[in-house]
Structure 1
Amino acid sequence: MQIHLVLPGLLWPGAPAISPTAGLALPALSRLLGRGEQQIADFAPLDRQLAALFGLGEGELPLAALRRLGEADAPVDVTTGEPPAQWLCADPVHLHFARDRMLLSDFPAEGDPPDAAETAALLASLNDTFADLGRFEAPTPTPARWYLRLAAPTEATLYPLNDVIGRPIAPFLPEGRDGLIWQRTMNELQIVLHNHPVNQAREAAGRRTVNSLWLWGAGALPGTLKAPQPRVQASDPLLRGLARAAGLTPAEPDPGAALAAPATDTLVVLDSLRRPALQLDLDAWRAALADVETRWFAPLAAALDQGRLAALTLSAPGDRHTLSLRLGRQARWKFWRRPQPLDALLKTLAPPPAALPTEPPPENP
């Protein structure tokens, strides 16, 4: 039995002077890092890495259609229809100025997203005003993920929401043949949302408003995909959609089920570290990492030591690098290899300090 564990957010993106795991007991992770064969690759977006596992290569990826397929209430016409339905992610966001730059914040589950009634009212107005674009909808019970079933295909370069969170939006505006059309559409969406009674009530109550939508992931579902493993565990809707497109029924991450008999090769994607790393929330990241150590690293290390697990692959996509760690049965005998603390690994991946100038600046004439 082999397990491939994908763990975005494991590589803490903070300054190299910080020791993010100081005082945190991570014996199983340290043992795995010390005994495994490591490879460090350059940065690649997580969405593309997940898609590549299922055989999707270069070009624009239909991430919206795949994510919609991964929702609990995926409609039948995600996978049927001739021609296939074209989808966009149309996620609710909040735009705000910081000095002279427009920044974007999303609405995670803990970030006061619009509730079901607010979502229904906002989407009704959008569908009335923008009927020519297609139909907006939101799955239940996750109203912070919205979709647009397009009335017609589009050709534009649209950047995933996770690339933009907390950053100025200017470099990420739509580009390509239809880029200007979608830029104008986003401006018109902002006007409708700004004037909506739902947002006026949220603003009056001191709550963040849904004052824009972030559009990304355009496309239709590809043909049948090939899964890298016969079993997939994930809570992320994109990965669940990829699994369903490959003919699998994904399950929620569960280390007991992953290691249970009968032995089945399994792909597991854990996303508990991803958001704390994106938001540089060190306390939340440390708490999530301690949970992963107890629930995943410890039983996986034990299964390797006992010979119940033939191989473990750990993939950790980060903001600058991706760590790949491979351990086979022979790793259990490499007792001479000392454990490697995660902090030590992070220091090897940190960018070098900026070089100080060797010459004094020129004097003003």
Structure 2
Amino acid sequence: MSHGARRTLILLLPEWKRCLASEALDSGVLAAWCSRGQRLDGLDPGNDGILASCFEWSGESLPVAALRRQAELGDAGDSNWLCADPAHVRADMATARMLACGAMGLSDSERERFARDLGSLFGDAGFEFDAPGNERWYVRALRESELPRCGSPDEVMGDDLKLHLPSGTAGRLWRRLFNDAQILLHNHKVNAERAARGAISINSLWFWGGGFLPNRVRAHVQQLVSDRLEVRALAERAGVAWKPLLAESLAAALESATADAVVALDLVELRNRELECRWLQPVQDCLRTQQVDLLELRFASGERYRVNRWQRMKFWKPIQRLGS
């Protein structure tokens, strides 16, 4: 490696509040890095913001549905896609909150029965509903259709849903479809069967990530390790090598990284001890053994820190909890 060259590892991390809520993260390696590292200017919060720090794409908001569809099935084409993922919503006295989205132990038979009836509902409204798998569902719209702009499930989880539903006249159709889908699912026989065996109900859909495949994607990283389909699709369209989220993938990426290379490790969907023990502690070892010279932390809520190999050794600087 030439003089002054630095191998940089970027960690894409969950929202700050989710790290704060975890005892393992609040007082672990992450807290040490943030205590002894350098606070940088923040990113735009949300999934779009954290990915825009690694990629540039044509268009405005990130078209997660089209990217995910392309990575999953290869048939996104030039269609206008929207994620319509299965969700569990619980109402209280004041509002309703999403408590789960995506993976909820749905069987193929249950999915097919839901999809048949949801297909009729969306078909009557002029859209095509498709549930190719048990966790990720889609709506295909006309090219000129105005799709709702809602946050990702991770951004919405546990929050007041009224704050995240599409607003105004343009959002009226999607609020109606949201309510109609809830009524259909609430009364569906599949949910009655699931309730009888103590399984969580699929009683709502979440619309997000709408748009077309981007014509152009440019990457600011040379390698990427991620399990998210939309991130893989971005990498492929940018001509960047990606690897699945495995320890050996990170080791191989760092081993093959050239001087001044930037590697991104996508940990946004991980939580608690899995994030701390399986990933953050090994990354600390990478700093110690000089496999990584510079570490940048990018949280999905916008916070950003930089840590070099020497900052982690500031033993005189006390480690503060993330919530301090």
Task: Answer whether TM exceeds 0.5 for this pair.
Answer: yes
Residue in structure 1 matching 2:253, options 248, 258, 265: 258
Supply the distance in 1 between the matched residues of 2:200 and 2:26 (Cα, whole angstroms): 36
Q: Report how many residues are paired.
A: 312
The answer to whether the 8 A contact 2:35-2:320 is kept is no
Equivalent residue, structure 2, for 1:130: 122
- Give the Cα–Cα distance (whole angstroms) in 1 for the partners of residues 52 and 221 of structure 2: 13
Per the alignment, in what secondary structure is the counterpart of residue 217 of structure 2? coil
In structure 1, the gaps of 5 or more residues are: 277-284, 348-365
Q: Tell me the residue number matched to 1:343.
A: 320
Quick one: structure 1 residues 287 and 249, their matched pair in 2 at CA, closer, same or farther if it must change by over 3 Å?
Answer: closer
State the secondary structure of the residue aligned to 1:106: strand
Is contact 2:27-2:322 (8 Å) kept?
no
Q: Is the 8 A contact 1:199 1:209 kept in 2?
A: yes
2:10 maps to 1:5: yes
Any residues of structure 2 matched to 1:211-250 within 5 Å, and which?
211-250=203-242
Rounded Cα–Cα distance in structure 2 between residues aligned with 1:336 and 1:96: 46
Residue 270 of structure 1: CA displacement?
1.6
1:302 counterpart = 2:302: no
After superposition, what is the alpha-carbon deviation per residue over 1:249-291, rounded to whole angstroms, capped at 9, x for unaligned? 5211332112223635422212354xx4xxxxxxxx1453122
Aligned match of 1:205: 197
Q: Greater CA radius of gyration, 1 or 2?
A: 1
**2:64 alignment counterpart:** 63
Contact map agreement 1:88 1:216 (CA 8 A) in 2: yes
Letter in structure 2 aligned against 1:135: E
Whether the 8 Å CA contact 2:268–2:300 is kept in 1: the answer is no
Structure 2: give runs of 5+ residues left out of the alignment. Answer: 1-5
Given that 1:158 and 1:175 are in contact with CA atoms closer than 8 Å, whether structure 2 keeps it comes out as no
1:99 Cα shift?
A: 2.3
Supply the AA of the counterpart residue of 1:267.
Answer: A
The answer to whether the aligner puts 1:155 opposite 2:136 as a matched pair is no
* Aligned residue in 2 for 1:74: 73
**What SS does the aligned partner of 2:136 have?**
coil
Alpha-carbon contact 1:61-1:217 (below 8 Å) kept: yes
Shift, 1:157, TM fit: 4.2
Q: Once the two structures are aligned, what percentage of the paired residues are identical?
A: 25
What residue number does 1:145 align with? Answer: 136
TM-score, length basis structure 1: 0.73
The residue identity in structure 2 corresponding to 1:38 is: R
Question: How far apart are the structure 1 equivalents of 2:43 and 2:262?
Answer: 27
d(CA) in 1 for partners of 2:319 and 2:14? 13
Aligned to 1:361: none
Task: Report the CA distance shift for 1:286/1:184 in structure 2 as closer, same or farther (over 3 A).
Answer: same
1:350-365 pair list within 5 angstroms: none
CA contact (8 A) 1:226 1:246 kept: yes
Greater shift in the superposed pair: 43-52 or 163-172: 43-52
- The superposition leaves residues 147-193 of structure 1 with CA deviations (integer Å, 9 ceiling, x where unpaired) of 11223433254212222211221121112552001111111212222
Pair 1:133–1:296, CA change in 2 (3 A): farther
Q: Please give the residue correspondences for 1:90-129 in structure 2 after superposition, counting only pairs within 5 Å.
A: 90-107=84-101, 109=103, 112-129=104-121
Q: Which amino acid aligns with 2:281?
A: T
- Decide whether aligned partners of structure 1 residues 228 and 165 sit closer, same or farther in structure 2, where only a CA change above 3 A counts: same
User: Over aligned residues, Cα RMSD in angstroms?
Assistant: 3.2
User: What secondary structure is seen at the aligned counterpart in 2 of 1:99?
Assistant: coil
Change (3 A) 1:33 1:148: same
Per-residue deviation, 1:338: 2.8
User: Structure 1 CA distance, aligned partners of 2:74 and 2:223?
Assistant: 23
Question: Could you say what secondary structure the match of 2:243 adopts?
Answer: coil
Alignment match, 1:269: 266
- Name the counterpart of 1:350: none
Amino acid at match of 2:49: R
Distance of 1:342 and 1:125 partners within structure 2 = 54
**CA displacement 1:122-141 (0-9 Å, x = unmatched):** 1122123322543223344x
2:3 aligned partner: none
2:280 is aligned, of 293, 298, 306, to 293
